[in-house]
Chain A
Amino acid sequence: EIVLTQSPGTLSLSPGEGATLSCRASQSISSTYLAWYQQKPGQAPRLLIYGTSNRATGIPDRFSGSGCGTDFTLTISRLEPEDFAVFYCQQHDSSPRTFGQGTKVEIK
């Protein structure tokens, strides 16, 4: 099973600041099969990025993804008030599909 480790656990930032979230895999993953999700309290996860760097429909361009192999990054260029949430990475390169434990981006 591929373990995904996200860091940091919590980011305390102000609106307008940038955020960099890390996802490290226990073994190499094809870039095709790495996704990022955003989840707000009481809501389902929402797909932000698929295939490492492709924004899902309706996702603003302040969200971007990058990486390869075992190291992947989600970048939010300028945080808007609605961006504060928990973010998860997920791999679907091998079964079982696994998720990271999440990074919480909170308002400072």
Chain B
Amino acid sequence: QVQLQESGPGLVKPSGTLSLTCAVSDGSISNTNCWSWVRQTPGKGLEWIGEICQSGSTNYNPSLKSRITISADKSTNHFSLRLDSVTAADTAVYHCARGGGDGAYYDWGQGTLVTVSS
């Protein structure tokens, strides 16, 4: 079982940039299909943000596409999320997850709460 751990600031100011990193252990980000970010709020539930795949290609949720960048660093076995121009609506628990070839998420990070507030 792959272990994932999110890290990053818990508080971001409105109009600022949210940056999170997911550390992967007991597995290599080079050896599986795709690595995703999913966020969760009481109001909207679980929302897929986007993914970076083994090939280096990325896929983003169209609702967030203009503000998202997902990248991966194979040398450190991390992948990252950058979300620009945040508002209070971006306040959520952010999870990173490992996607299998069938698109299901087999392993998840515990999640990290990010609050957007001045």
The count of residues in chain A whose C-beta lies closer than 8 Å to any C-beta of chain B is: 25
Cβ-defined contact, A99 with B111, below 8 A: no
Q: In angstroms, how far is the closest chain A Cβ from the Cβ of B52?
A: 14
Q: Identify A47's interface contact among B62, B104, B109, CB under 8 A.
A: B104
What residues of A have a CB within 8 angstroms of the CB of B104 in the complex? 35, 47, 50-51, 56, 90, 92
Known contacts A33-B102, A45-B105, A56-B106; is-contact A95 B46 (Cβ 8 Å) = no
Interface string of A28-54 (1 = CB under 8 A from B): 000011010100000111110011000
Distance in angstroms from A49 CB to nearest chain B CB is 8
Q: A88 on the interface (CB 8 Å rule)? A: yes
In Å, the complex CA distance between A25 and B1 comes to 30
In the bound complex, residues from chain B placing their C-beta under 8 Å from that of A45 are: 46, 95, 105, 108
Contact of A97 among B63, B103, B106, B108 (CB under 8 A): B103
A58 CB, min distance to chain B CBs, angstroms: 9
Q: When the two chains form their complex, are residues B95 and A44 in contact, meaning their CB atoms are under 8 A apart?
A: yes
| Cβ contacts under 8 Å, A46 to chain B | 108
Asked if A66 lies at the interface with its beta carbon under 8 angstroms from chain B, I say no
Task: Report the nearest B residue to A32, measured CB to CB.
Answer: B102
Q: Residues of B contacting A56 with CB < 8 Å?
A: 104, 106
The answer to whether B105 and A95 have CB atoms under 8 Å apart is no
Q: List the interface of chain A (C-beta within 8 A of B).
A: 32-33, 35, 37, 43-47, 50-51, 56-57, 88, 90, 92-93, 95-102
Interface residues of B (CB under 8 A from A): 1, 45-48, 59, 61-63, 95, 99-100, 102-106, 108-111
13 contacts between A and B (CB under 8 A): A43-B110, A44-B95, A45-B108, A47-B105, A56-B104, A90-B104, A92-B99, A93-B103, A96-B61, A96-B62, A99-B45, A100-B45, A101-B45
User: Beyond A47-B104, A100-B45: 20 further Cβ-contacts under 8 Å?
Assistant: A32-B102, A33-B103, A35-B103, A35-B105, A44-B95, A45-B46, A46-B108, A50-B104, A50-B106, A88-B45, A88-B46, A92-B104, A95-B59, A95-B61, A96-B48, A96-B62, A96-B63, A97-B48, A98-B48, A99-B48
